[in-house]
Structure 1
Amino acid sequence: MSLVLTNNTIDKYFGFLTKLDNKSKKKLIVKLKKSMETKEEADIDLLSLYGAWEDSRSSDEIINDIRKSRVEKNDLIDF
């Protein structure tokens, strides 16, 4: 996700950044340049994106555990 700035906002940042010393400006330029470099996407193994649920409990035991862990929303706490 990228943040898009308007020209007005960019001008405000630039006004602030022009007050920096040259060494700080150069460091900022290097960081901005590195952030613009495209990175190659690693190949994704589709087989690694899915799997089966592994559990020693039966389906009935899992369902009972889920039901027991539920919290009633009607329990309001007064402060």
Structure 2
Amino acid sequence: MGALNVSDKTLKKYFTFLNKLDDSSKTRLIDRKKSISGSKKSVPSISDIYGSWEDSLSAEEQIKEIRNSRIDRSSELNFE
């Protein structure tokens, strides 16, 4: 669940509402917030998400495959 961005006016309304809660309810809300905040997923390090391309083809074979797969579209266009 993503973070919610609210205006100052909305925050004031929530704060007014929360001030009316009894101490027990406020404590439960704080505990709930702490448990949610403490359960953040860890962000993978850059070394976990990058790497070299692994393939059985050599670099020359890969280049040849890419070039052979290209389509010359200039012959298909006719603007007359």
TM tier, smaller = 0.3 to 0.5
Structure showing greater Rg: 2
Give the structure-2-normalised TM-score.
Answer: 0.45
Give the structure-1-normalised TM-score.
Answer: 0.45
